[in-house]
Structure 1
């Protein structure tokens, strides 16, 4: 690919999309990344229809120009809107924001890549859709489709967001339309009600892959339950964690229909939500253990905090509370239940308290309210404040948070960890021994993705304005990955600089995936390097 080919492709794209449909990366607010990586991006193309997406890909094939599709570009902590390789044109799909084929009785809806969590919430509210949006902590501006294809997850039912995808439509690299077999032979409606369709399951190729540009997904929505009750629990002594972990597994197995996920957060992760980073107490950017203890004591933060929610009718919720008390009571120091009514009461109480106490109670109520809204399937950006803990400038009140635009340094390390006490301890020891070596505070969350496995999210936070801090954070990720390989704790998704770990000649996965890729995209113009390595000509 050379500059002449890119210029020729851009000329054709302008004819198809108009001047406003082809812009520079800087004009489209692309290029910034929380991981500190910068790619050379020749242009951003912005189609508005499926037909235009097909034409864009046909032009890319003709001139052999690489394109990299993004839904909204808000893949913070993994590369934002940046491609894997330099000189890829960004295919911005945010204008494909149509919501269609909503069935309020059966709870399925079809969305394009530009449909955000916030947009789907507004749509459901205006169409009497009594369903939960599959929310994440990334906020209202993030794509439903993009998160599902990257196999994101949340704490509302249905926790596994790709599991909720029942049907996919995609434009293949040659510009042709892929539909599932049931839809092609006249069963479009039932196809959207049954994930596996008919014949070999090819939809999975489009999840964490680069086999086509997904322009529509149909997803199953979880119905809003009669009640949502949050529960919070804690242990003061870190040594009790090994006993708590199998109890979390027991809770999910006993209450799997009503308690779908549980989060465990260490004290530093909790402090990151409660107080500004105390730079003056840090040594080389890291809070020493005694400073963490001092801060934790002053804010009443325990060694480990847990959170989950009961989704159920009132009768079932009452029984679930008794079960939680029976299981969690003996292994925790505190267990409380919170709902919207109690949060409203706390706000009322805050208004009657003197200044300092009022501020603290109101702050607690606001935090609880934000967490409860997410549990109710309403997205917000409360959790996104984490990205600003070490760097970045919070936007003006009312303006959406955008960590990439606002200068935040964030890399997610998100490994899978068995729900076993000994394994969790080995994992925590690994994180706590490696992160401080690179100037990174070990903030740890463990989220159940089923009753067998946690996904742990460790935000590597750093000052992106500091080149040395950026380099150390990226080195920290590599050190964690290598240690995780030895210990058996590996990520469920990768950032744009980590894709090379899949590119090994000895990998049967890489060989097969590359051959499939070559069959549908022989010029490797679509998202080159994304999870699927380039194939060597001798291996075709």
Structure 2
């Protein structure tokens, strides 16, 4: 008697008998309650926000592990039965695929129950955590133990986790916002069940695992990020000590055409570390939506929102066409000097109205932006999903040099393509040390098949047209991973598949992740 339901598909290349044999072994290893095969049990793993049919990313089952030994056992069973397994930590990767598997029929390996904070060193400012630890959990731990340390995370942050975000090379809004740069030491279960520790982690009795990244010989940490060569079960990373003074501020610019000058004003301050954190330049709709403004409040007409209405929203909500957020950190003396440099540069620019925390008070969106820059988790940015409603969201995030000319060109191109498909430009630029991430949320009503189809075509065109201009994205949702992998050329793909054949010859670990799948070998 099979427990496979009509709705849950079988994994690729696996028949029902083989699958049920694997399920029985999962139950023996993990316990009945940790092996989920019924339709109602799989609902949390079958919700996607991307513009393809749910069925394309439906899992066959989900299993939850609580120890490294159990993860090793899952890998062993998967090898025996050629079962593809898609690993998630907290499953909160909204806009990039959520908790659903990359391919139809894959078994979800859910590590949310591996949620121990293993160690926090308040003097060396390091942490070691398991995959299921959330930012809110770690923040609460720091608060309860009165540790003067600060987190960095993406937004919205409270329900996401540092391990999963770092493994996907996410970024944040503090001086430690380049999260993979701040990672130090991984424990990885390989496809053959071996447990590999990067950096100093393989040295018996060593205590430098979380303080020295490199170890000896090749440094392989990066190979496991955005990849399917292993399952990360522990990660160390560095925490920022809380500074004596934290001074967040906003600069509002009135005109959409100001974008090039804004970036030219910011870049030298970022490179010199006068402004030490990633600077956000958020468009009017991004900020309005996070404050729960709905498109229906202004118009019910189909298509892209007219510029006249965008200007009205800007006026009604007291927003800029561009809203710049940054912060200063340090001693009173350091902050005072750097504040003079920032305000002097702004005066020289001759435009932009600066707002401090004292002026803004608890008003949104300033408050949640200040929280992000000071390491306080929140969920405010989920307001984006209310702009159009209908649960459709896909993140499009090309990377370029931090130059004003790049911004003007990218924003015009993105807006033209989005508007062509009846969708709105909801975007922000994030200025790193020398790079710039252009983050666009392609929002649409997923309950409308015709609009979902348009959103899919729009996303394809964004990828195509930006690539023609020499831009590629640094992350993408599960439906477009193979397409984006093509942007980076055949040599990279051949190397990735060579590594996959060597480390995972049975192709069991997340086939298709970042376009790496031995079923589509080179």
Fold conserved (TM > 0.5)? yes
Give the secondary structure class of the aligned counterpart of 1:233: strand
Kindly indicate whether residue 126 of structure 2 is the aligned counterpart of residue 111 of structure 1.
no
| Aligned match of 1:138 | 156
Contact 2:185 2:200 in 1 (8 A): no
Question: 1:188 Cα deviation (Å)?
Answer: 3.4
| Aligned match of 1:261 | 278
Residue among 16, 31, 40 paired with 2:46? 31
Equivalent positions of 1:515-526 (< 5 A) are: 515-526=498-509
Give the secondary structure class of the aligned counterpart of 1:190: coil
| Aligned match of 1:21 | 34
Comparing 371-380 and 65-74, the one that deviates more? 371-380
Question: 1:302 Cα deviation (Å)?
Answer: 2.5
| Aligned match of 1:478 | 460
Deviation per residue, 1:112-137 (Å, 9 max, x gap): 11000100101111223211112211
| Aligned match of 1:494 | 476
Segments of 5+ residues of structure 2 without an aligned counterpart are 1-13
Question: 1:332 Cα deviation (Å)?
Answer: 5.3
| Aligned match of 1:188 | 206
Deviation per residue, 1:448-506 (Å, 9 max, x gap): 122x2110110011111111111211211111000110112211112101111225996
| Aligned match of 1:244 | 262
Equivalent positions of 1:151-230 (< 5 A) are: 151-180=169-198, 182-186=200-204, 188-230=206-248
Question: 1:295 Cα deviation (Å)?
Answer: 2.3
| Aligned match of 1:427 | 410
Contact 2:200 2:212 in 1 (8 A): no
Report the TM-score, using the length of structure 2 for normalisation. Answer: 0.92
Distance 1:237 1:190, change over 3 A: same
Contact 1:229 1:337 in 2 (8 A): no
Deviation per residue, 1:152-173 (Å, 9 max, x gap): 0011121111111110001111
Q: What CA distance in whole angstroms lies between the structure 1 residues aligned with 2:288 and 2:23?
A: 48
| Aligned match of 1:436 | 419
Question: 1:342 Cα deviation (Å)?
Answer: 5.5
Residue among 375, 385, 390 paired with 2:388? 390
Distance 1:370 1:384, change over 3 A: same
Aligned length: 502
Q: What CA distance in whole angstroms lies between the structure 2 residues aligned with 1:504 and 1:391?
A: 31
Kindly indicate whether residue 508 of structure 2 is the aligned counterpart of residue 507 of structure 1.
no
| Aligned match of 1:311 | 329
Give the secondary structure class of the aligned counterpart of 2:169: coil
Question: 1:269 Cα deviation (Å)?
Answer: 2.2
Comparing 149-158 and 183-192, the one that deviates more? 183-192
Kindly indicate whether residue 514 of structure 2 is the aligned counterpart of residue 531 of structure 1.
yes
Aligned CA-pair RMSD:
2.0
Segments of 5+ residues of structure 1 without an aligned counterpart are 347-363, 393-407
Q: What CA distance in whole angstroms lies between the structure 2 residues aligned with 1:33 and 1:538?
A: 27
Report the TM-score, using the length of structure 1 for normalisation. Answer: 0.89
Q: What CA distance in whole angstroms lies between the structure 1 residues aligned with 2:428 and 2:212?
A: 33
Deviation per residue, 1:268-304 (Å, 9 max, x gap): 2222234222366254242111221222223332222
Contact 1:417 1:427 in 2 (8 A): no
Q: What CA distance in whole angstroms lies between the structure 1 residues aligned with 2:344 and 2:255?
A: 20
Q: What CA distance in whole angstroms lies between the structure 1 residues aligned with 2:349 and 2:488?
A: 48
Give the secondary structure class of the aligned counterpart of 1:498: helix
